[in-house]
Amino acid sequence: MESDNRLADELKFSEALLTARAAGRVPLISEVKCISPKVGNLLSGRDPAELARAMEAAGAACISVVTEPKHFGGSMDLLRKVADAVSVPVLRKDFVRGRDDIRATKEAGASCLLLIVAVLEWPVLVEMHREAHDCGLETLVEVHNEAELARALTLDLDLLGINNRDILALEKDDGTVSTTQELIKLVPPGIRVISESAVSTPEEVRTVIEAGALGVLVGTSILLAPNVAEAVRRLVCALEN
């Protein structure tokens, strides 16, 4: 797997998404998550590394791994196992808090780190954004409302995530893609937007792509599907229908 990791390092997270889009595919970040606070256990005894490989084989441009332990059942060991199992770039999702998280993320094999505007004090987020870049990581800066978006747009963004759900409600609220549709109107041209959460069908994928999003991040609906690979393929090929 060492050669696979080198391949992932050579292809930046954002570049993998752009490459997928240029090839006519939906740039999908497919997520590995152990638990959903809303629906419960998502793995059902399945090997997360095998799931990640199936997602990659089905066309996912990148993989996301939720490492938050208390509410989502994640761990850094989970991140390492998934990063070792796939050749596409990997995102770490967690409620990260400081400098130690950045180095640990890089050492575990991720290429990109989630920074949530609603969770971090603004000076801390700005500093973590800078230090992540210094460490060779890209960042996905996540917002959910206009006030958070206004702050995020002052950064030199790699990727802007619009979460259709309120992360502070731990995904228990019923989000819709209308959040992306409305907020993206306020995003200047050239910003790479990822629509996150509450995206589960090809129709919803097309809706956010047509609104201006570069790609989508999808987790729960893929993991709940009877066939993970087929669920990924349906979303990746959504622009072909």
Residue 39 tokens read as: 């629906």
> Which pLDDT score, from 0 to 100, does residue 173 have?
58
Which range among 25-29, 42-46, 95-99 shows the weakest confidence by mean pLDDT?
95-99
Give yes or no for residue 7 having a pLDDT over 60: no
Residue 183 tokens read as: 């907020």
Give yes or no for residue 241 having a pLDDT over 70: no
- Angstrom distance (rounded) from CA 75 to CA 110: 13
Phi/psi for 195 (5° steps) reads -90, 125
Give yes or no for residue 8 having a pLDDT over 90: no
Assign residue 45 a region: left if phi > 0, alpha if psi is -120 to 50, beta otherwise?
left
Fold type of domain 2-240: TIM Barrel (3.20.20)
Give yes or no for residue 60 having a pLDDT over 80: yes
Give yes or no for residue 101 having a pLDDT over 80: yes
pLDDT of 187-237, one tens digit each?
999 999 999 988 999 999 999 999 999 999 998 999 999 999 999 999 999
Phi/psi for 52 (5° steps) reads -65, -40
19-33 burial: b if 16+ Cβ within 10 Å, else e: ebbeeebbbbbbbbb
Give yes or no for a contact between 184 and 212, defined as CB atoms under 8 angstroms apart: yes
Residues 126-145, mean pLDDT to the nearest whole number: 97
Q: How confident is the model at residue 37 (pLDDT cuts 50, 70, 90)?
A: confident
Q: How confident is the model at residue 170 (pLDDT cuts 50, 70, 90)?
A: low
Residue 99 sits at the vertex; the CA angle it makes with 98 and 100, to the nearest 5 degrees, is 95
Look over the chain and give the mean of its residue pLDDT values, rounded to a whole number. 93
Residues 111-120, mean pLDDT to the nearest whole number: 97
> Which pLDDT score, from 0 to 100, does residue 99 have?
86
Residues 6+ apart with CB under 8 A from 6: none
Q: How many other C-beta atoms lie within 10 A of the C-beta of residue 149?
A: 18
* Per-residue DSSP letter, 145: S
Residues 106-119, mean pLDDT to the nearest whole number: 97
Beta strands in the chain (DSSP E): 28-32, 35-36, 40-41, 62-66, 90-93, 112-116, 138-143, 159-163, 193-196, 215-218
Query: Could you tell me the CA-to-CA distances from 202 to 1, 72, 107, 127 in Å, in that order?
Result: 32, 26, 35, 37
Query: Could you tell me the CA-to-CA distances from 195 to 36, 53, 87, 214 in Å, in that order?
Result: 18, 23, 23, 8
